[in-house]
Amino acid sequence: MTEMTETGEPGLRERKKRETRELISDRATELFILRGFEETTVAEIAAAALVAKKTVTNYFPRKEDLALDMHEEFTQGLARTVARRRTGESALAALRGEFLAAVSRHDPVIGFSGEPFARMVAGSPTLTARLRDLHEQREEALARTLADETGVPAGDITPRAAAAQLAGVHRVLFRELMDLTLQGRSDESAAEAVAGSAERAFALLAPSLGEYAVRI
């Protein structure tokens, strides 16, 4: 349970834990960009953050989590967007709207990372594999939510097929944003390009999914 004060704010212990986690993550990112993900050890990260190696692994059980530390927001984001859609809004419309909003705010969850970070990820087989795993987890979470929201019988393929298409668009757009970043495009330039791609990509799904999972 998260420690809270009487005003509803995190307590001192909780704030200290959050600060420690952020410090470890920041130091890890600096080392990964400077030396490469594969070449940097957990012990070196601990030394840079002035904490014990066990402290690092307590906060980040997997080394990959130090680089991709927004994995919870990433894997659950599509499902949450669908679960929170407005009355009369389809899953497709909700996801399209949220993606375009994320583009406008240059949200790192959809791939805005800066060229050094993107190059570090692209150059690491471990992180590339981890990203594939996170994309699959995101699709599975979306499929479960679509099944719950549409009330289909267990085993119905429809939510899984819809999730594959909806998450697939996000996977393609994530890759495009990474590629644009690796080309040296600014966030503003990349955002303009990927917004146009998103409009076209989501439009392709409209004939089949435009009226799917509309909240009543």
Per-residue pLDDT of 157-200, as tens digits, reads 999 999 999 999 999 999 999 999 999 999 999 999 999 999 99
Share in percent of the chain as helix, strand, coil (round to 5): 70, 0, 25
Handedness of CA 11, 13, 18, 22 (dihedral sign): positive
Instruction: Quickly list DSSP for 48-94.
Output: HHTS-HHHHHHH-SSHHHHHSTTHHHHHHHHHHHHHTPPTT--HHHH
pLDDT in tens, 41-82: 999 999 999 999 999 999 999 999 999 988 899 999 999 999
Give pLDDT tens digits for 105-124.
999 999 999 999 999 999 99
Q: How far apart are CA 185 and CA 107, in angstroms?
A: 16
pTM, entire model? 0.89
**pLDDT of 9:** 60
Find out whether 205 and 130 touch, Cβ atoms under 8 Å: no
Predicted local confidence at residue 1, as pLDDT: 43
Tokens of 210: 């435009």
Q: How far apart are CA 196 and CA 192, in angstroms?
A: 7
One-letter amino acid of 157: I
DSSP class of residue 105 equals: T
